[in-house]
Amino acid sequence: MKNDRELFELYKDVGIIERNKDEHLKNLINKFLIQSLYYPVVDPVKTKVDYSRLEYYNIDAKEPINWGDLGVSWVDTISNFICIEEAAPDECPTFCEYIQTHLHAWGWNEFKIITEW
């Protein structure tokens, strides 16, 4: 079975998808990894973090993260950095490890996660 990266490259090569790598990674992180840490709600403005999920994924709930506005701000496919905005720089190691572990499992091994306000 192919991982996410292999499928992305295959679908890109045969013209099934048109988005580029940075758009794909932003979507993957924002729509899957970050959203999976919240209770499902109909109104996207009313978000609530599911602390049992943080515990399950070994994310320290005390890390300085603005859960109301958390998301990927930029992807640099040349230097292989992905920046997530609304988390304190260098103060969210368990959150970054959660994102990075999943990206690596899905074939995106070269990327490092950083955070910024």
pLDDT band at 43 (very low <50, low <70, confident <90, very high): confident
Q: Which domain holds residue 87?
A: 4-116
Give the residue-averaged pLDDT of 37-43: 84
Give the residue-averaged pLDDT of 90-109: 96
Q: Give the tokens for residue 75.
A: 């992807």
- Partner residues linked to 75 by β-bridges: 82
Rounded Cα distance between 108 and 99, Å, is 11
pLDDT digits (tens, 9 = 90+) for 50-70: 999 999 999 999 999 999 889
What's the total number of domains in the chain?
1
Confidence at residue 33, expressed as pLDDT on a 0 to 100 scale: 96
Give the residue-averaged pLDDT of 86-115: 95
Per DSSP, the three-state class of 114 is: strand
| pTM passes above 0.85 | yes
pLDDT band at 45 (very low <50, low <70, confident <90, very high): low
Give the residue-averaged pLDDT of 99-115: 96
DSSP string, 4-39: HHHHHHHHHHTTS----HHHHHHHIIIIIIIGGGB-
**95-98 contact pairs (CB < 8 A, 24+):** 95/59, 95/60, 95/63, 95/65, 97/58, 98/33, 98/57, 98/58, 98/59
The conformation of residue 65, written as its DSSP 8-state character, comes to B
- Output the CA torsion sign for 55, 61, 63, 68: positive
